[in-house]
Chain A
Amino acid sequence: MRRVRDGLLFLLLAAALWIPCLRFAFPVDPASLPSAPGVSTFARALANRHLALWSDPASRARELDRMRGSNAEWDFMGRTYLVLAIVNMVLREPALATRALPVVDTILTETLALEERHGFYHFSMAYARGAPYRAQPPRSLFVDGEIALMLGARLVVGDDGRWRARFDERVMQVTERLTRGPTLCAESYPDECWTFDHATALAALRVADAVFGTDHSELCTRWVAMARRTLVEAKTGLLISEFHYDGTPLDGPEGSSLWMAAHALALVDPEFAREQYERARANLRVSIFGFDFAREWPAECPGTNDIDSGLVIPLLGASPASSGLAFLAASTFGDHEFHLGLLRSLEFAAFPQRTDGTLSYAASNQVGDAALLYSAVLGPLWDAVRKRSWR
């Protein structure tokens, strides 16, 4: 008995000495943060992997098929994040344009061709075909908003005449769907609207204003006012993640939606976006001895994990999807402390794979790595849009 007691005491003493030092075993470089000028070594290594993937159709097909096996949306979102990342990299370092912009053009060409051939359903989960859409003919704001954002971002770094008309057409479709809906909302799935998709679509409208000199400020202002009124959960003050076409809530606030919504809304209504970020940080961030991660659901509004959450780690409640997208928000709002904590957790628990100047994470997938790359370089695109348009 005494032996067990002594053993437990020494284990406790050793844990008290070792665990606070663990952070030093996983050092992170503040130069990896996007506030540093240029493109960091970290971002470059992540980008090399994606650029190689998009130059090799066979590897790309394998990688995308792996994701599509679980969720076709990830194939699509991986494209969006990569395009946004590359555009930001080019804005940071114009010399990269020669190598990187052809990849953006390839992604856009292929994505539009796939959509044309199979419809937006190609990038949706199977239940998109399970019921009729309330608004006819069916369209997905998820697909329209992200395609618009990709096209707009591409046009910010140059216009070779291929994308302007496509962007204009997509912006009109987004605007038409939003204004047609009973609550300034459009469906992504049958009778299912997502805050994530609305924030992305509004950011695309803002980019359109910068590119075309149009003005969607009134629509954006009305949407934010509607969101404050009907899409904010009472206990936490956070935006809910999904709702019916008539605005009835379907789910509470969800990390994998909120972080991206805050990031995109930073372009639409910076004050509201920061408020949402601060609330999400207070409700979802977990920090243990310098290691940070994000939960999917606030403690006050628990929800059911789904494909969007990733595999949530029991006891800790760490959600890979929420933590991955938290990088975007921490980066957008210059939250270095949270960002460095997230990077440390990434080194600890996502298993980096460094080969031939490329970096990927074994515990992630293409969309996760692309979002991470985007978080490492974002800033210049939003800045360029802000300078050129209405606010």
Chain B
Amino acid sequence: MKFHEWRRAPHFSPAGFLRWALFWSLLHGALALAGARRCTSVLALTYPEGMGKDLAAMLGLGYVLTHIVFVVFVPTLVLAASLWAAWMRFRRNRAARPEAAP
């Protein structure tokens, strides 16, 4: 599958699932690079130094949310995409198989 086909694939398709998995992984990675991990102390109502409380809460809770998605849903999406693609290939191969001679 070419990149532009993958990019335009429907949300509910193996490629669409992989696209969502990539999106959430990149978002989580970006938040980690932005230093949002240290802001998760907002869960204990303790705020990092040198940062406004609102920004810290937004980054911290955003990090927690994307972490849960990254750990729970991203592997689920990848696994679902793999299983679905394998199932589609299996059905295609079966349909393409010539009819057995009588």
Mask: chain B, 53-88; 1 = CB below 8 Å from A; 0 = not: 000000000001001100110011101110110010
Instruction: Give the interface segment out of A3-11, A239-247, A269-277, A380-388.
Output: A3-11
Interface size class of B (residues with CB under 8 A): 20 to 34
Size of the chain A interface, CB-CB below 8 angstroms: 36
A363 and B83 contact, Cβ closer than 8 Å, known pairs A4-B12, A14-B76, A22-B71: no
Taking the closest CB of chain B, its distance from the CB of A146, in whole angstroms, is 19
- What is the CA–CA distance of A8 and B13 in the complex, to the nearest angstrom? 10
Task: Among A3, A62, A321, A350, point to the contact of B10 (Cβ < 8 A).
Answer: A3
Contact at B76–A15, with CB atoms within 8 Å?
yes
- What is the CA–CA distance of A320 and B60 in the complex, to the nearest angstrom? 14
Task: Among A8, A307, A349, point to the contact of B45 (Cβ < 8 A).
Answer: A307
Q: Is B30 an interface residue when CB atoms closer than 8 A count as contact?
A: no
The dominant DSSP class at the B interface is helix
Contact at A310–B72, with CB atoms within 8 Å?
no
Q: Is A66 an interface residue when CB atoms closer than 8 A count as contact?
A: yes
Nearest-neighbor residue (CB-CB) of B78 within chain A: A14
A-B contact list, 27 entries, CB within 8 Å: A3-B12, A6-B12, A7-B12, A7-B80, A11-B77, A11-B80, A13-B80, A14-B75, A14-B83, A15-B76, A19-B72, A19-B76, A62-B49, A66-B47, A66-B49, A67-B46, A70-B46, A70-B47, A310-B43, A311-B43, A321-B44, A349-B67, A351-B37, A351-B67, A364-B41, A365-B44, A365-B46
Q: Apart from A4-B12, A71-B45, A310-B44, what 15 extra A-B contacts exist at CB < 8 Å?
A: A3-B13, A7-B12, A8-B12, A10-B83, A11-B17, A14-B80, A70-B45, A74-B46, A307-B45, A310-B45, A311-B44, A321-B44, A351-B40, A363-B40, A363-B44
Interface on B for A, CB 8 Å cutoff? 10, 12-13, 16-17, 37-38, 40-49, 64, 67-68, 71-72, 75-77, 79-81, 83-84, 87
Sort A-B residue pairs by CB-CB distance and give the 4 closest, nearest first.
Answer: A7-B12, A14-B80, A14-B79, A365-B46
